[in-house]
Amino acid sequence: MKCPRPNEVGAINSTAKEAVEAQLSAVKQITAAYEIEVEADYEKLTDSDALEILSRINAATQLCIDSEADRVMQELDAARGKLPVAAIKEVREHADIFVPLLMRSLQQAILRVRDGGEREEDVSFFAVFLLTELEVTDAFPLLLEVLRLPDEGPFELLGDGVHELVAPILALFSGGNTDEIGEIVQDSNVNIYVRWSAAKAYKYLVRDELISRPVAIDALHRHFQECVENEDHDMLATLAC
């Protein structure tokens, strides 16, 4: 993600452009007093002026980065059914910048859906996929919140991805610990399709040799028995399969 030059008018938004120009203008004012023409002339700078110049340049650079990050997030937000390939590529290349932004957008979407609203942007949808792809373990609690949203909440954020994404997410982030998987499978307050998908996580754990086949079968058998005891009949066919 490059930092645009100050004269690239369309590269950053007007507010950020003005702020960047203000920082660089201050740098020019400082260096003007030294009549710097060649590289060696920079040795004339006092320590305080050198520190001030570095501070101004760092501030301008951060403004560029923030503006570019906003642009990428807006591209994810405005996808509207079209895969934002370029934006996704930039997120992958600069995960350190975008992971906090993706987590914040997902948290905001969770709160909105929990309060009875609907997903208003696409960025939270892509956040789930990208945080999973990047294996951001700190995002697992947020992803669990998505799965535990009441009623159709998980579909507000994942769409039909619920059917295909839930099991891999749980298998990837569980690290072989099946406690969270079992809790979702057995929780009748969780969306039934999420529970069905969560039960499939065991096959991924067996495939990746994180748990043995007998351990997976025992867990599914235990879930089956508990569903029978609780008359939770909607889960029986899935667990049997």
Model confidence pTM above 0.85: no
Taking the C-alpha atoms of residue 181 and residue 195, their distance in angstroms, rounded to an integer, is: 9
Tell me what pLDDT residue 55 has.
Answer: 87
Q: What is the pLDDT of residues 140-187, one digit of tens each?
A: 999 999 999 989 999 988 888 899 899 999 999 998 899 999 999 999
Tell me what pLDDT residue 9 has.
Answer: 33
Structure tokens at 83: 């895969």
C-alpha dist (Å) from residue 13 to 3, 73, 154: 13, 14, 34
Q: What angle do CA 210, 158, 127 make, to 5 degrees?
A: 80
C-alpha dist (Å) from residue 213 to 202, 216, 220: 9, 5, 11
Structure tokens at 16: 């950020």
Tell me what pLDDT residue 229 has.
Answer: 93
Tell me what pLDDT residue 81 has.
Answer: 73
Taking the C-alpha atoms of residue 77 and residue 173, their distance in angstroms, rounded to an integer, is: 26
Tell me what pLDDT residue 211 has.
Answer: 95
Tell me what pLDDT residue 10 has.
Answer: 40
Taking the C-alpha atoms of residue 59 and residue 84, their distance in angstroms, rounded to an integer, is: 29
CB atoms within 10 A of CB 231: 8
Q: Which residues of the chain have pLDDT under 70?
A: 1-12, 117-121
Tell me what pLDDT residue 107 has.
Answer: 92
C-alpha dist (Å) from residue 83 to 30, 76, 86: 46, 8, 9
DSSP labels for the chain? -PPPPTT-TTTS-HHHHHHHHHHHHHHHHHHHTTT--SGGGGGGS-HHHHHHHHHHHHHHHHHHHHHHHHHHHHHHHT-TTS--HHHHHHHHHTHHHHHHHHHHHHHHHHHHHHTT-----SHHHHHHHHHHHTT-GGGHHHHHHHHT-STTHHHHHHTTHHHHHHHHHHHHHHTT--HHHHHHHH-TTS-HHHHHHHHTHHHHHHHTTSS-HHHHHHHHHHHHHHHHHTT-GGGHHHHH-
Contact 4, 66 (CB under 8 A): no
